[in-house]
A = this chain, B = another copy of it.
């Protein structure tokens, strides 16, 4: 735990940065103990970056419809303060509320708020649960709201980027270890890779090593990697059947060189059969359990 070497802000500046009035910040402190700032010798409050994150998490939750008291309770319990040990694992926010808060933060282009919500969720739950119950639902909502025109594609793009960065940072060194090796990629034309990354994370937590090639990967790129690495499983994911269909021939060839599994909403049993591949569950977490069970 770093002792927070960054600048400590006075209440006005924190207010300016977070958009929450100073009065309200003091009220949150007084009523809920949301913050416990240091003080100058004269008594002025001094906030650190962790405090800023907490305020953002708080506002994200309130935006998502949680009451202030409840939002504060969740925010405080997720990151106990210096000496105020939380009363332990209280029930915790229903995951849907976290998902809502995450969605709201992402739609507001607020990467810091989104990360604060994720920090809170990850402090309470396993990565697997957070992926299944918070991240993927939030991204599904965002996808739906984009389709229905409620939000812009810019918001969807931004959200995807923030979540991808966060997942990949959790994925650090997922290629290391001794377990079986899975090669992951999205076929050409498919750019939605968050589900696949989630899948990889869950699989890694089950002991697998992961090599991730990324979204929109040409099949011959995958073939080259298969030749280099001889993975135990080759997992391709797409939200639509089209990327699989248009690479059908190459995929069949690939399936004779290794164990190919197709996943995502674009995969279907009969498509898999035609390609000589297997199909995995549509849900990333379920798919990982499924693959690991074989």
- Chain A interface (Cβ within 8 Å of chain B)? 7-10, 13, 16-17, 40, 46, 52-53, 56, 61, 64-67, 69-71, 74, 109-112, 115, 152-155, 157-158, 160-161, 164-166, 168-169, 171-178, 191, 211-214, 216-218, 220-222, 224-225, 228-229
Give chain B residues whose Cβ lies under 8 Å from the Cβ of A112. 173, 175-176
> Chain B residues near A169 (CB, 8 Å)?
165-166, 168-169, 172
Shortest 10 CB-CB distances between A and B: which pairs? Answer: A169-B169, A165-B168, A112-B176, A154-B225, A152-B224, A154-B224, A111-B175, A13-B65, A112-B173, A161-B214
Is there an interface contact between B213 and A154, defined as CB atoms closer than 8 Å?
yes
Please give the distance in Å from A112's CB to the nearest CB on chain B: 4
Inter-chain contacts of A10 with B (CB < 8 A): 67, 70
Decide: A164 near B168, CB < 8 A? Known: A70-B46, A158-B225, A216-B191. Answer: yes
> In chain B, what residue has the closest Cβ to A223?
B154
Q: A9-B65, A111-B174, A152-B228 are in contact. List 5 more A-B contacts (CB 8 A).
A: A7-B66, A109-B228, A157-B225, A166-B169, A168-B169
Check B70 against A7 for contact (C-beta < 8 Å). yes
Nearest-Cβ distance from residue A9 to partner chain B, whole angstroms? 7
User: Cα distance A40–B72 when bound, in Å?
Assistant: 14
Contact (Cβ within 8 A) A175 B110: yes
13 residue pairs of the A-B complex, CB under 8 angstroms, read: A7-B66, A9-B66, A9-B67, A10-B67, A40-B69, A111-B211, A152-B228, A157-B214, A157-B225, A161-B213, A165-B165, A165-B168, A191-B216
A165 touches B171 (CB 8 A): yes
Across the interface, do B228 and A157 meet the contact criterion of CB distance under 8 Å? no
Taken together as a complex, chains A and B put the C-alpha atoms of A221 and B153 apart, in Å, by: 6
In the bound complex, residues from chain B placing their C-beta under 8 Å from that of A46 are 70
Decide yes or no: A224 and B8 within 8 Å by CB, A161-B212, A176-B17, A176-B111 being known contacts: no
